[in-house]
Each structure stands twice: as structure tokens, then as C-alpha cells.
Amino acid sequence: MIKVIFFDVGYTLVNEDQVWEQRCKEQCMEADAQKLGLSPSQIMADILEATLSFKPQFRSVIEKYHLSKMVPYRSELETLYPEVKEVLNELASKYKLGIIANQKAGLKERLAELGIAEFFEPELIISSGDLGVLKPDSKIFEEAIKRSALSSCELMMIGDRIDNDVRPAKLLGMKTIWIKRGLAAGQVAPSKEYQADFTVESLDEIPSILYMETKMEIRELNANDLESLLELYVQLSDVNKNYSYEKSLDIWKNEIENNKYIKYFGAVDSGKVVATCYCTIIPNLTNGARPIGFIENVVTHEDYRRQGLAKTIIDAATEFAKANNCYKVFLESGIARTEAHKFYEKIGFETGSKKSFLKWLKN
């Protein structure tokens, strides 16, 4: 079970695009670079080539052209990725967080300037500048394991480079996540030891991965889950407080259980349904007679929210719709639930192309 999560910094927590752009410009202003006619775009191309070849990024450029001076890394130009604070806040409530990064001395102070130092255990912030060892040297990872006082299998490393972050951590027995963005997004693993356990494109995908690594089950629900499901529906609306288990079981057995076009999906924690939605496949005669998927009753237990479970179950429902050749899926959300609307947009649902109208029918 994972107890400590270590992060790289560049292109993991912070976007370095502006840093590299400025550094390439400054390097070209140096006398020996001007004599060679180097341009910022040429240096950036060399940095990218070095990254994809598993070589040091800027040092490789200096060595290639025999430049006499390496211009400084302007850390003040780094910007936090938008999801960072929210994800770190969520993870820090359940795990200890640390840093393993090729960064200059004073990393703790820089994290404070970025407004994220509070999420990390001070003794687990390990930088090459402070330790005097650069990744991918295993010594920096061994130091992290030592400071954690845990087995390596209880640790996870998250970084943007499969050569600097994934491989050395994996060889020592740590779990790994490759965040595929930045200059190293195009790296290709030459062997299994470079292959991360998980690959993501944004940090906000990580909470759901971690929950799937625990006892949490993501699966289709069945009649044995019905009582727990009905209890969860009370959090969807007070109207559901007076549910009849017997009536619900009758509906499940006679109208849902054997209907291959209706599936209920849930996140189940030790037998308790903590998040759910269902998907109905609706026959259709337009768009090549391809059916439509309707996702409804999306709800997550109040104690399990903001952990990526809603996305995971909606993804499961969407895959069910794809498997049934649906050309689209749609869902509805209360007009006042603006945060939910942002979430649905973030995971790929549109709001501008259609408008939903609802008419309540009296008994």
C-alpha cells in the first residue's frame, strides 16, 4: 500500500516553457554562441533531441558546441500547472508527500514562493543541489527511501522523464507514474524497466489511480449492492429517503438485471457503494441508426468526493456506450450545480451545442 508519494518538479508541478524560451535567448546572446550563429530555435531543438535521447538537457548543448558559459536557469519564470494545488491538497490529506528533483539548492524556499511548500514533508524534499547527486543516479532515490523509513514498495515516484524518474525508481522497487507532458512527452521506453506503472497527462488523474490501487472496486453493480445503492441515493435527493427496498428489488430483478442495455456502475469500498451512475442505451433511427447513451443519477458519497471516483464511473459508463456503438452520450445536471458543470466540461461533455428541457410528470 502506498504511503509516500514523491514528485519531480519541472513539467510535473511547474510549467517550464517560459524558462527554456528565455534561457535559449540568453545563451544565444553569449559571444561564442553568436560566433557560431546559434539561434534560440536551434538550441531548443538540441535540448529536445537530448531529452529524447536520455541525455542531460542543457549541459548537452554546452558540450556539443563547446560553449564557455552556461546561462542560469530562471526559476522565477516557472508557473504552477492549474491543477497542482487542488491535487496536492487532496493527496496530502491521505499520504505523505515529498520531492525528488534535479533542482538547485534552496528548493524548500522556492516551493514556499510557489505556495505549495505546506503540502510536503520538509525532510522528504530532496534536491540534487542540496544533496550533490543528479538523477538518474540511484543514490538520490536511495536517500529518499532512507528518509521515508519505509519499504520501497510503499513509495511512489511521479515525474515527466522515464529515464530520470521512472527507471531509477522502478529498479529500486517503487511504484511509478509518468506524467506525459513537456519536453519529455515524446520519450519512448526502450525496455520494460523504463515503462511506468501508470501514464497520465495531468496530475488530476492521479487520485483515481491511487484509489484503484487500494481496496476500492470499480465495477458493474448487482442485486447484492442494491441496499447500499439506495442509501447512497438519499444523498442525491431527499426525495429518496422513503425508498422501498422490496419495490426496488422487484424492479431490479424484472426490469434491470436481465436488460443488456441498462448497466449500473459503482465504486465499491469494502462492500459499500460510494459512487455510482447508470447508463441506458436508447435505440435510434438517425445518425446511421446508431443508438444514444444516457447517463443518469451520478452521485458520490460526501465522504469520498474530490477523489476522482465520479470520472472513473462515468468513464466506465461511456465505455459501455461505445461498446454498444452509440454515437453520443449525454447527461443532465441541475442548473444551479455550477461546480458539477465545470467537472463535466473538464471530462469532455459539451454545454453549448444542446439545451435540455425538462417536464415533471405528476402521478
Q: Where are the domains of the chain?
A: 4-13+78-213, 17-75, 217-346
Quick one: three-class SS letters along 85-127? HHHHHHHHCCCEEEEEECCCCCHHHHHHHHCCHHHCCHHHEEE
pLDDT at 195 exceeding the cut of 80 = yes
The chain-wide mean pLDDT, for the chain, equals 93
Angstrom CA distances, 58 to 44, 69, 140, 221, stand at 9, 11, 20, 53
Cis status, amide bond into 136, omega within 30 of 0: yes
Q: What is the pLDDT of residues 153-180, one digit of tens each?
A: 889 999 999 999 999 999 999 999 999 9
**pLDDT given at position 209:** 85
pLDDT at 326 exceeding the cut of 80 = yes
Residue 215's pLDDT band, with cuts at 50, 70 and 90, is: low
| Distance from C-alpha of 227 to C-alpha of 231, rounded to nearest angstrom | 6
Residue 339's pLDDT band, with cuts at 50, 70 and 90, is: confident
- Looking at the chain, how many residues does it have? 363
Residue 83: exposure state from Cβ atoms within 10 A (0-12, 13-18, ≥19): middle
Q: Percentage of the chain with pLDDT > 70?
A: 99
Q: Is the dihedral of CA 306, 309, 312, 314 positive or negative?
A: negative
**pLDDT given at position 141:** 96
User: Range with the lowest mean pLDDT among 57-66, 111-120, 302-311?
Assistant: 302-311
pLDDT at 217 exceeding the cut of 90 = no
130 neighbors 100 (Cβ within 8 angstroms): no
**pLDDT given at position 214:** 64
Residue range 217-346, CATH number: 3.40.630.30
Residue 263 in grid coordinates: 448497466
Q: Which helix (H) or strand (E) holds 228?
A: helix 226-236
CATH class for the region spanning 4-13+78-213: alpha beta
pLDDT at 239 exceeding the cut of 80 = yes
Fold agreement (4-13+78-213, 217-346):
no
111 neighbors 125 (Cβ within 8 angstroms): yes
If one counts every other C-beta atom within 10 angstroms of the C-beta of residue 144, the result is: 25
pLDDT at 333 exceeding the cut of 70 = yes
Residue 289's pLDDT band, with cuts at 50, 70 and 90, is: very high
Sequence-ordered list of residues with C-beta below 8 angstroms from that of 331, at least 6 positions apart, any chain: 277, 294, 295, 296, 298, 314, 344, 349
Residue 15's pLDDT band, with cuts at 50, 70 and 90, is: very high
4 neighbors 95 (Cβ within 8 angstroms): yes
**pLDDT given at position 50:** 95
Q: Percentage of the chain with pLDDT > 90?
A: 78
Identity at 115, one-letter amino acid code: G
For cell 501514464, name the residue: 199
Q: What is the pLDDT of residues 251-266, one digit of tens each?
A: 999 999 999 999 999 9
Sequence-ordered list of residues with C-beta below 8 angstroms from that of 349, at least 6 positions apart, any chain: 330, 331
Nearest to 310 by CA among 203, 234, 207, 179: 207
Identity at 344, one-letter amino acid code: Y
Average pLDDT (73-98) is 95
156 neighbors 6 (Cβ within 8 angstroms): yes
Coil, strand or helix at 217? strand
Q: Distance of alpha carbon 272 from its chain centroid, rounded? A: 25
